[in-house]
Amino acid sequence: MVDSHDEQSPLLHRSHDEESLELLEFSKDDQENPRKWKKARKFANVGIIALMAVLSPLASSMFTPGINQIAEDLGSSPNTVVGATTSFVVALGLGPLILAPLSETFGRRKLYLACFSLFALLQIPTALSPNVSTLITVRAFSGFFGSVGIANGGGTISDMFEPSERGTVLGWYLLGPLLGPTLGPLFGGLIVQNLGWRWVFWILTIVCGVNTIIGYFFLKESYAPVILQARKEEREQDEGGKFRIPNQDDRPFSTKLLSSMQRPIKILFTQPIVLIMATYQAIIFGTMYTLYTNFEGIYGGDYGFSTTKVGLMYLGPGVGFFIAVWFFVPRIDSIYNTLTEKNHDEPKPEFRLPLANIGAVLTPISLFCFAWTVELHTHWILPVLSSAFFGVGQILIFSTVQNYYIDSFSKYAASASFLHIHSCQRLDRMIN
């Protein structure tokens, strides 16, 4: 099991005066404690960040059916236009490196609203792009700020839910980063065919803007240290005394910020099991994008489908995602709780991983079946069914491993979640 100790503790040596200060922490039934919130409040937060986690990956693939149209309109080649997808996906992978640890310094809510507002606004210059260079550049910035939903979602869920109930919620949330690239070509194909490629980004501007406005009114801060720090400052202002909070970090701001930025890299390269899992996830995620970028050639070329019908083929993996989340993901919690009980009520992060074994078997088998059925030009339903089983395998691996990260590094769940999203950085090799 990966050690989940507080990495600040060796750095923070408190004086007797500091120890004598009154400690502010959540009481047993404190309604400001995110884990004591009512379910409606928790799921309102989850719904808003889940939509953010859907929209940014959706934007990564939504315009792919219009690549030829964009190339013709901007006087470029389709291969050059693909660079707009590459730049977006690379930035989507790099963004969490910075945004995940920042949420553990400034809080979740501020970062969500600031970054997603910029993501929504950046769709406007994308829609107005006069040339392919502008398109690629703006898409890169858009991918960076749009990654905030998938960078901090795991941490936000960890803030609000106990380990015994977290697995199912996280499984449904993870549908977003996976369903986005799946549904993007379907919706994009319909828009491109009927309205033109620029309307893909106008519609994204509207939808992302609405979600940001909803977040402004209904998204609540869930990171406990930030909530307690605000309570501490309010008490000190009202009562004039001095207080402290658990694991209070009095280091200079620049030191704390640098420590936060280094944390994900430190976790990745000092924990061999994490590095191995992150690499495995990168391969699977990259394979998914490789499949998606070849669907047009396979179903549009070999099978002669129209753009709209090709878009429907992306529903194969999507159906697999829903099957996995509906039937298998709830078992993550039940298996975890059963193994914890057998281990004398001592939980371990490894108790999250048994279902990953099923995913690890399904993934290569489904890929072999997909390639075999396409090569033999069998009925189109067979490669679609193969891609559905690939979707099941993906969810089983990603959900269990993400839960493992969060359980191992519970206080720094957002930084740990970065390791899952970081796999997107490697996709540019797969796409080109």
Please write the tens of the pLDDT for every residue from 356-375: 999 999 999 999 999 999 99
- Examine the pLDDT at 400 and tell me if it is beyond 80: yes
> What is the residue type of 215?
G
* Range name among 39-43, 309-313, 351-355, 383-387 with the lowest pLDDT average: 309-313
More confident residue, 49 or 68: 49
Rounded to two decimals, what is the model's pTM?
A: 0.80
- Examine the pLDDT at 22 and tell me if it is beyond 90: no
d(CA 28, CA 222): 17
Convert the pLDDT of each residue in 97-132 to its tens digit: 788 778 878 889 999 999 999 999 999 999 999 999
d(CA 108, CA 89): 23
- Examine the pLDDT at 158 and tell me if it is beyond 90: no
Q: What is the mean pLDDT of the chain?
A: 84
- Examine the pLDDT at 15 and tell me if it is beyond 70: no
Q: Are 228 and 24 in contact (CB under 8 A)?
A: yes
More confident residue, 393 or 171: 393
Supply the pLDDT for residue 351: 92
Give the max Cα distance, the chain: 78
DSSP 8-state assignment for residue 163: H
Mean pLDDT, to the nearest integer, of 5-20? 46
More confident residue, 31 or 430: 31
Supply the pLDDT for residue 287: 86
Of 263-267, 281-285, 360-364, which one has max mean pLDDT?
360-364
b/e code 404-416 from CB counts within 10 Å (16+ = b): bbbbbbbbbbbbb
Quick one: pLDDT band at residue 17, thresholds 50, 70, 90?
A: low
Instruction: State the sign of the Cα–Cα–Cα–Cα dihedral 52, 53, 56, 61.
Output: negative
Supply the pLDDT for residue 166: 84
Convert the pLDDT of each residue in 194-230 to its tens digit: 899 999 999 999 999 999 999 999 999 999 889 998 8
Retrieve residue 321's tokens. Answer: 């995602």
Supply the pLDDT for residue 18: 55
**How many angstroms separate the first and last alpha carbons of the chain?**
38
Convert the pLDDT of each residue in 36-58 to its tens digit: 999 999 999 999 999 999 999 89
- Examine the pLDDT at 421 and tell me if it is beyond 90: no
Supply the pLDDT for residue 269: 81
Quick one: pLDDT band at residue 8, thresholds 50, 70, 90?
A: very low
- Examine the pLDDT at 428 and tell me if it is beyond 90: no
Retrieve residue 166's tokens. Answer: 């977290």
More confident residue, 124 or 409: 124
Of 37-46, 73-82, 228-237, 241-250, which one has max mean pLDDT?
37-46
Supply the pLDDT for residue 374: 94
Which runs of consecutive H residues, i.e. helices, occur in 195-271?
198-218, 224-239, 253-270
- Examine the pLDDT at 431 and tell me if it is beyond 50: no
